[in-house]
Amino acid sequence: MAYNGVGAFNVYLGGAAYDQPVIVLDGFDPFEGTDEGINVEDIYSQFLSFNNGANNLGLELRGQGFDIIPLNFIKGEQNDGTVTNGGTDYVERNAMVLVELIERINNSSCWSNVQPIKVIGFSMGGLIGRYALRYMEQNNIPHNTDLFVAVDTPHNGAVVPTGLQEAADFIEDIASIDIGDKILKSPAAKQMLVHHYLANSKTPAGAPNFHNRFYNTLNSIGFPQQTRNIAVSNGITTGTAINAPNQNYFNGEIETGANFPIIGIGADAKMKFSPERNQTNKVFDFKAKIRFLAFYITVYRRFQEVTTNAALGSYENSPGGFFTVEDEINQFLGSDGVFNTNETLLTAFIYQARAEISTPRFSFIPVKSSLAYTGNNQDLYEDFSTRNLVCTGETPFDSYFTASNDNEQHIALNSENANFIFDEITGVQRSPNIQINPNEQINGPKTVCSTIVTYNIANCTTNVNNWTASSNLEIVSSNGNSITVQANGNGEGFIDAVLPAGTVRKEVWVGQAKITKTTFGSCYEPNYRISATYPDTALEFKIYHNGTTTYQSGSAYYEFSSDSYNLQDGESTTVYISIRNNCGWSQSYPVLVYKPTLCDCGYNDPSCGGSGGPPSPLSNSLSSNTILHPNPADQTLYVNSNSLVVENKKDPAFQIELFDLNGRLFFRTTTKEVNHKMDVSMLKDGLYILHLSNGKERVIEKLIIKH
């Protein structure tokens, strides 16, 4: 006989009219209809609250005019007297309750000028919402819904430790306490649990005729097609486990016979999480024993073994929204999780009783399950924190939000995920909150010329919140994955992709190349290196000297010395160099090549008027009378040497040397001009030291280059 589902709802208005409905769906509730169960008011006040109750998502949405409609799936008596419990009922039957509510909203005269409906499903409520909306689409029933939000929903199944299930079944067998009937044997539990004790299997297997049949049906109909679908997961995507495999989480023992020290009867029970991959171990182990003196004899034993899937890993410890009984344990055992007594009213009968729970939490909804993961890597512990599953096609959702720092309690809201839901409901579409890959890159050329160029994010990371570029680049267009720019100047540039978790930058060169010259080697045997400001953008060098043009390619720089031009000591020549990048040939830059003498390098050589031997130091002074103009300099610098004493006024000679702060010599020249003109256009911005000497006196000045 077909039974109808039953639901109860309230409407929390956000304005004067019923016009912006947000339906909030309850999840699995085995205590429905009791004081421990969830009612309509609880859905609004508990499910939607965050920051320890200081904030409420429902209240914030009502402030924007939205009407909050919590829907609870309740107990109902059928015509034949059968009572169905909506909190643990079939997902499909509860889905029909939601279908009925949506039709009432769309067809009722109370709801005028209704805006598109938003549906938020918590836990199993996400499965109910998914099934109902898709059912309406397939049966041509208008649902007028544009957003579906699933909060920590078991799209690929839910988890309860097998050892805990076996313990519940054992207690039911020996004490007739119907834990299994109320919870584990309920239709919803048999549909959702990926490993159910009724399968009587060591390896993960669902309840026979329930789990596989339900998920095959759910996956065959797929997700709603007329809505934007987003997921919120309480699990973390970095692969961080909740517990360790094979961890012992419960120890209990009891022994009778305090007045009978010779003989006694006792029992102990242990529960463990499932073991490492491809290993088998006991997850539940109960022993009934008889004590004779100090010896124990096991007279009854019941245990259950589990073999962990090699590809998936342990379900119970995997990253995900965890279920916890911490509060219940603290009430019964104390904050240390231990109950231990030798002194009770039953001391005459109880010799020892002890119970200890080492961890009160387990993975209830693995993070990959809450995201309806469809990729090839089934490892539940995979770190996919830097991968956008929407972009890679590994989730059917349009966007998702996962835990940021650690695994969180199942269906718990906080400021971050509540804001994500709030934005989506109010029309702000958000990208997945993935982490930045430290190797993340922006794809595109290193040089921007006169044509438009498109850049995009590599590795399918995430949608870009915003693109920015340097002033010498004009943004033609941009979207969540790419940006198109064109040159609007010349020189160093950049493109920034502003992602949800930070900013990624690509540095580029705009326009034709500019030359950078560096000098290295010794003073007497200097070497010159000519490169583009961005060396790896140089394709070819053109060198012109004394009517001859040569070319060099295949290297990021052109390197030569004064010997390359057969210069003798004290001789100089000018070489004109151009660089070709993707934008073509640069202008021709003159490079002065000088062959220093021993005297230039400070040697006390007889040819310099000395007596031979090591260099004799020149007197150094800092003079404010020596004028560098302008300072800071950009293209041209004038050096005025009036402050130096000139012994031979008919034929004065001054030496000018320029160093960077690392002591590297950039160039040296000798001049007879009192006001010497220098080209500094090829120097990079920064602080330099200029030496001016006449052979006896040296003046040192600081020079700032700023283009």
**Which DSSP string corresponds to 107-126?**
H-TTB-SPPPEEEEEETHHH
- The predicted structure's pLDDT at residue 515: 83
Domains of the chain with CATH codes: 7-157+218-239+366-426 (3.40.50.1820), 247-333+342-355 (no CATH), 442-510 (2.60.40.10), 514-601 (2.60.40), 628-705 (2.60.40.1930)
- The predicted structure's pLDDT at residue 285: 93
Place of tokens 């007889």: 606
- The predicted structure's pLDDT at residue 538: 80
Residue 116 makes CB contacts below 8 A (sequence gap 6+) with 144, 145, 146, 147
- The predicted structure's pLDDT at residue 178: 65
How far is the C-alpha of 302 from the C-alpha of 168, rounded, in Å? 13
How far is the C-alpha of 228 from the C-alpha of 235, rounded, in Å? 22
CB 515 within 8 A of CB 576: no
DSSP class of residue 605 equals: -
CB 504 within 8 A of CB 438: no
How far is the C-alpha of 618 from the C-alpha of 234, rounded, in Å? 73
How far is the C-alpha of 84 from the C-alpha of 82, rounded, in Å? 6
Residue 661 is which amino acid? L
How far is the C-alpha of 282 from the C-alpha of 295, rounded, in Å? 24
With a cut of 70, list the residues of the chain below it in pLDDT: 1, 175-181, 257-261, 294, 325-355, 438-439, 458-463, 501, 520-524, 598-626, 643-652, 661-663, 696
Residue 707 makes CB contacts below 8 A (sequence gap 6+) with 634, 681, 685
| Strand 145-151, strand 117-122: pairing | parallel
Query: Per the structure block, which two tokens stand in for 106?
Result: 């769309």
Q: Give the DSSP H/E element, type plus range, for residue 516.
A: strand 515-521
Question: 3-state DSSP call for residue 419?
Answer: helix
pLDDT in tens, 446-467: 999 988 999 988 666 566 888 9
- The predicted structure's pLDDT at residue 181: 67
What Rg value do the Cα atoms of the chain yield, rounded? 40
- Classify the C-alpha dihedral 164-169-170-175 as positive or negative: positive
Q: In angstroms, how far is CA 515 from the centroid of its own chain?
A: 40
Place of tokens 């995920």: 417
- The predicted structure's pLDDT at residue 290: 86
Place of tokens 């996962």: 402
Buried b (16+ CB within 10 A) or exposed e, 427-438: eeebbbbbbbbe
Greatest alpha-carbon pair distance for the chain in Å reads 127
- The predicted structure's pLDDT at residue 617: 40
Looking at the whole model, is its pTM more than 0.75?
Answer: no
- Please state the φ and ψ torsions of residue 88, each to the nearest 5 degrees: -130, 15
How far is the C-alpha of 204 from the C-alpha of 197, rounded, in Å? 9
How many C-beta atoms surround the C-beta of residue 208 within 10 A?
Answer: 14
How far is the C-alpha of 42 from the C-alpha of 607, rounded, in Å? 100
- The predicted structure's pLDDT at residue 379: 96
- The predicted structure's pLDDT at residue 112: 75
Query: Per the structure block, which two tokens stand in for 18?
Result: 């019923």
pLDDT in tens, 105-119: 999 888 877 899 999
| Strand 473-478, strand 466-469: pairing | unpaired
